[in-house]
Amino acid sequence: MAQLPEPIQNAAAAFDALPGVGPRAALRYAYWLVTQPKEVIERFSRSIQTLADQVRHCDVCGQWADRSPCSICSDPKREASQICVVATSQDIKSVEETGVFKGIYHVLGGTIDPIEGRTPDTLRIKELMARVQMPVIKEVILALDADVQGDVTALYLKKQLSALPLKVTRLARGLPTGAALEYADAHTLADALQNRKET
């Protein structure tokens, strides 16, 4: 078998390290990239270098940003009395796309999962507790995934926040639009019943 040039091997190894990319796809990406004009490869390289040089965590909320404080934390129009707790920066994008929430955020950096080595002390929970001590904060919204790790994290945070004069809420869960009852699992159906509202 012919030996691949070292630059292609290195590029494939870099792509292979990405989540969801296997060795074959990584090699395809490397081959595709090497067939592009030099300026395309250089632009791609610069965009990756810019990630390393210019993106950092916001010192206030913890989300990835190109400055600190980030555009949300520095926006005086945001409702500072509501803080939405999310696991990752990607979750902020999802919430913002709804156009409904106008408060501020706090990124934990993941959810509690001891098997993966994520314990409460590895997450930004201390920083959250310091932020909610501010008198302006009235409500903490736990916007965490509806899975075991999200539930464990929400229960842990609810216990930590219980001594404070705060309203602690969690995103409603239930049946998605267009879902048939017969295909819903018991947990989802139970959430839908508990979170029902008048029509």
Token readout for 48 is 């990756």
Please give the tally of structural domains in the chain. Answer: 2
Question: Would you say residue 180 lies in a domain?
Answer: no
Evaluate whether residue 64 is within a structural domain: no
Distance CA 38, CA 60 (A): 40
Q: Phi, psi (5° rounding) for residue 33? A: -65, -40
Is the pLDDT confidence value at 199 over 60? no
Residues 19 and 83 in one domain: no
- Predicted pLDDT at 1: 43
Residues 89-113: tens digit of each pLDDT: 999 999 999 999 999 999 999 999 9
Domain membership of residue 193 (yes or no) is no
pLDDT tens for 3-45 read 889 999 999 999 999 999 999 999 999 999 999 999 999 999 9
Structural domain including 119 reads 77-170
Question: Do 109 and 147 lie in a common domain?
Answer: yes
Mean pLDDT, the chain, rounded, equals 92
pLDDT at 164 over 90: yes
- pLDDT of res. 162: 94
Residues 95 and 147 in one domain: yes
Cβ atoms of residues 73 and 107 within 8 Å: no
Sequence letter at residue 101 = F
> Do 83 and 141 touch, CB atoms closer than 8 A?
yes
Segment 109-163, tens digit of pLDDT: 999 999 999 999 999 999 999 999 999 999 999 999 988 999 999 999 999 999 9
pLDDT band, residue 173 (cuts 50/70/90): confident
Cα separation, 61 vs 96, whole angstroms: 15
Residue 40 and residue 115 in one domain = no
Model pLDDT, residue 2: 62
Same domain, 91 and 159: yes
Q: Which residues pair with 57 in a beta bridge?
A: 64
In a domain, 37, yes or no: yes
Residue 198: pLDDT band (50, 70, 90) is low
- Amino acid occupying residue 27: L
Domain annotation covers residue 183: no
Write the pLDDT tens digit of every residue in 75-94.
999 999 999 999 999 999 99
What are the start-end ranges of the H helices in the chain? Answer: 6-16, 23-34, 38-54, 89-98, 125-131, 148-161, 186-194
Please indicate, yes or no, whether residues 48 and 82 belong to a single structural domain of this protein: no
**40 within a domain of the structure (yes/no):** yes
Residues 85, 23 share a domain: no
CATH code of the domain containing 18: 1.10.8.420
Whole-prediction pTM: 0.84
Based on the fold, state whether residues 48 and 112 are members of the same structural domain.
no
Quote the tokens at residue 171: 């995103």
